[in-house]
Amino acid sequence: MLLPFLSRAQTKEIPFALDDRDRIIRTEQKVEAINGKIDNKLDGLRNEMNTKIDGLHSEMVSRFDQLFNFLWAIIGIFTTMMVSIFGFDFWDRKLSLAPLRKEDQRIVSVLVDFAKTQPKLSEILKNAGLL
């Protein structure tokens, strides 16, 4: 019973007029115009971003160069300080031990003189390698 209604619903034509075709063409043209504007805006933004990135890159490179120069200066200062401290230490050690060596020489000379009268002391000094 419903079969004639179903066949009628499927065969019903939808009218497609020239106005509809013109409307679709105008819509496509508007979409293409909008796409062109979007592409132009994106190209401008892309160029702007590239210039900003290049500027930031060159600024970052210059800051790294400044940082490395600063680090080299710190290393130079530290090295100079260490060399001067070690130099002063060796100089001071040599200077402070000089009077003690003179005292040692005086004591040894006194012992050698005393060993001339004391044979036992003379034997001890010979064994120690001082005579």
Q: Which amino acid is at 15?
A: P
Q: Where are the alpha helices (DSSP H) in the chain?
A: 3-11, 18-115, 119-128
Q: Looking at per-residue confidence, does 58 or 4 come out higher? A: 58
Pull the structure tokens for residue 107. 């004591």
Q: pLDDT, tens digit, for every residue of 61-108?
A: 999 999 999 999 999 999 999 999 999 998 888 887 777 778 788 888
- Name the pLDDT band for 38 (thresholds 50, 70, 90): very high
How many other β-carbons are positioned within 10 Å of the β-carbon of residue 112?
14
In whole angstroms, what separates CA 79 from the centre of its chain?
21
DSSP 14: P
Let me know if residue 131 belongs to a domain: no
Let me know if residue 115 belongs to a domain: no
- Tell me what the mean pLDDT of segment 42-71 comes to: 92
Let me know if residue 2 belongs to a domain: no
Let me know if residue 62 belongs to a domain: yes
Q: Domain total for the chain?
A: 1
- pLDDT for residue 10: 53
Let me know if residue 125 belongs to a domain: no
Let me know if residue 24 belongs to a domain: yes
Let me know if residue 126 belongs to a domain: no
Let me know if residue 107 belongs to a domain: no
Mean pLDDT of the chain: 85
- For residue 40, what are the domain limits? 16-97
